[in-house]
Structure 1
């Protein structure tokens, strides 16, 4: 070995090292890690998946015990966090509940809405129906008289929505 001989073509000038030491590290200290990559995430994962399960082992066949503990924990958290999905099933009935002439719709519906046994959903449905009927008639600017007739028959069927 010859003393004073060049060992590096770059004369030990490392641009990446210079960049890290003098620019990137100070930027990280000032602004935080890029894209949120920090060691805190990995430290917390290490605690949750290595340190805590290790303390629960009997120090024999540690890896198998840790894997079983982690597996049990994953199964418990997965099964406890899931809600049992409720699937709506529409049960349709073809029994006709109401039939009325459009000229008498408002009178008929008002008498039905005064019925104390009528469910609140049906009352709301009747109210919305009257609103829609008014909008329809305003749109066509028609006034019903005894001699005019609109060939519309409304059949209201019962539909029950049941969750299982």
Structure 2
């Protein structure tokens, strides 16, 4: 597997720092680590939806924890990205219900259609395909999440329509 280095500018703006301070205010001063998930979300949102090692190190400083503690959280949860993702990231459920009902085939189809491998982003920066753990919609398998929305009972045809809708700007993520 090819290992690429990604560069990211760390920009803790006054607005982001105010948000971090507000989040920290919900926890005892000696328990800053308890705010790790919401702080990571805020920092990732402010940095093009991904967290470089340098940025994770900065979060460790903010929370007064060891960097490894931040790395453990970021590498465990699929909601945190360790490299840039496409504008539209197709998160395919790959647990048993979805796999039994064709989820792995849908991942393979999506990758082939977009000309990328799982975990990669298209050259134009528009699409990424990732497999994630259970999304909690077992009765609607196979399924994927795009932004805040689930797309259930997936078929190749439904995926094709979804891709075209994204290309035409019909899918809004904000």
Question: TM-score normalized by structure 2?
Answer: 0.20
Greater Rg over alpha carbons, structure: 1
More helix by share: 1
Question: TM-score normalized by structure 1?
Answer: 0.21
